[in-house]
Structure 1
């Protein structure tokens, strides 16, 4: 925190499903403060007002509130359906911090684009807690595809990857599908190795007792009276209902956004060559590229920049596949976004008539979402 910097200041917030980031910039684009808070999207279990307040107070520190002349809050779920609640939460946090006026409220999609370019118009494809693509013009969404939340959309997001991974692991555990690295990796990531070992040990002991009980009565009378039925042990490992139920309890006991922590698990399994994980990764990239294809007609300018944003598109197999697909579709390679909170502050500067700093110039020390 560089509180000795002279104001005035602007504030930018990128409030996603799993993390809220806040920065304070001078009018020249120099970082004066930064803060973090928990996820703010109410659709995935976040407390919007509380998350905004936490990040805002930390970023401001002892900065003179009277020197803050504007701000932009990019909030996940702040589209037309959730905008009234997002605006109310933003104003509540702003005033609770002792600031005058009110911040502008946009979706986190708009600040994601601004985090990758100073151009006013272009395409952003994003995949973090949520996922989708949009054409942006001067901070406003011209057209969007997906970004509809974990329940009915967000295909290709970290949460979607997690949900697919859990589904694949459960299908293998109860015998509906073939084995995959995810059968072991998912429960270990969700429950921890000690719990998985304990459940596996209990299962093995139960199977051993069952085998001993059957050892002395493997020949039973047949249905016809004169024939017999010989019981044999299973050729394949029996399903593990205890482990499956433990996974279910963990998944449903946390907010949906928590599934996003399994995104790296799927990426690691795919990189190691697991066929099931590779299929999930391929489908994620396909969904994200379909989003781009859906909004591309609204772009107009074929030379406008394309920005990739979010944890899934920062690095890894999904990012590599989407980057390759975008390079094939456009005149130049896509740009990688920086801190979304800096993007929001850049929009605040633009709205006040000041030039936004190049995205790579301001480094808050932490990546968004």
Structure 2
């Protein structure tokens, strides 16, 4: 018997035909008989973090959301809708919030923040140097001296350069700014702290949305019980302030420490062995 499992992003209902066709083509190209099973990358992420047949996975990388998984099938999901209409709490969402915070500091609508300097340095590279030289960085980042529009009186080109870079590149590219925010939050920047706190709040709201379905499947665990499989996946949930807040929230809700998803190969292998009755 030959079998396999492909975990593919976008393999839910909307993108399933294309994902299945791609998986089948790759399978045939290897000269293997039969057809592989195609599941979402969410199901694979859960299996990569837990050997349990059912449980919950919270994911926050380029995208974000939470899902209840039962035997390799996503039975309930919250968010994961993409950068344009969802993915609150994701790296891209945090990156967008970082740019917004910088722009608000520039025009006087927002509080001073170190993101007013770090964001253009990231997005513009060496070109940021001359533009930043024309602004009052102490005012924009620390709040000393003039703030907002006054601090930008001779540096109006800076926000326009940031905007040109943002709208000229792929939206997912803004996820590069997420580490800037988490680092600034760790250093005590109040604006960055608000962003990471809001990111964690969105992710735990996703958890609360799908929690009733999980409890219907396996019941509610108490602290110390073996409980359900609870997994976190994605770069934002490996370490840092968002990871710490989300993991603490998961422990409060389910009484277990969340495990971190391993490489997706492990998850796909677990699912394939289970399908073959060898788990």
Scaled by the length of structure 1, the TM-score of the pair is: 0.66
- Quick one: which of 299, 307, 320 aligns to 2:231? 307
Aligned counterparts of 2:67 and 2:179: Cα–Cα separation in 1: 25
Aligned counterparts of 2:29 and 2:172: Cα–Cα separation in 1: 27
* 1:250 counterpart SS class: helix
Partner of residue 36, structure 2 = 103
* 8 Å contact from structure 2 (residues 250, 258) kept in 1: yes
* 8 Å contact from structure 1 (residues 125, 292) kept in 2: yes
* 1:70 counterpart SS class: coil
Partner of residue 144, structure 1 = 77
| Structure 2 unaligned regions, length at least 5 | 136-148, 221-226
What's the CA shift for 1:322? 0.5
| Structure 1 unaligned regions, length at least 5 | 1-7, 9-68, 205-233, 356-369
Which stretch of the first structure deviates more once superposed, 341-350 or 120-129? 341-350
The structure whose residues are more often helix, as a share, is: 2
How many pairs are equivalent?
257
* 2:69 counterpart SS class: strand
* 8 Å contact from structure 2 (residues 106, 152) kept in 1: no
* 2:7 counterpart SS class: strand
- Quick one: which of 273, 296, 309 aligns to 2:211? 296
What's the CA shift for 1:332? 1.6
Partner of residue 200, structure 2 = 285
* 1:344 counterpart SS class: helix
Which stretch of the first structure deviates more once superposed, 290-299 or 100-109? 100-109
* 8 Å contact from structure 2 (residues 117, 132) kept in 1: no
Aligned counterparts of 1:101 and 1:256: Cα–Cα separation in 2: 38
Partner of residue 64, structure 2 = 131
What do you get for the CA RMSD once the two structures are aligned?
A: 1.8
Partner of residue 88, structure 2 = 155
| Matching of residues 1-369 of structure 1 within 5 Å | 69-192=2-125, 194-201=126-133, 203=134, 236-238=151-153, 240-300=155-215, 301=218, 302=220, 303-355=227-279
Deviations 1:237-263 (A, max 9, x none): 427332222222222232222111111
* 1:106 counterpart SS class: strand
What's the CA shift for 1:88? 1.9
Deviations 1:41-81 (A, max 9, x none): xxxxxxxxxxxxxxxxxxxxxxxxxxxx3322212222111
* 8 Å contact from structure 2 (residues 46, 231) kept in 1: yes
* 8 Å contact from structure 1 (residues 174, 241) kept in 2: no
The structure whose residues are more often strand, as a share, is: 1
Q: 1:235 to 1:157 in 2, by over 3 A?
A: closer
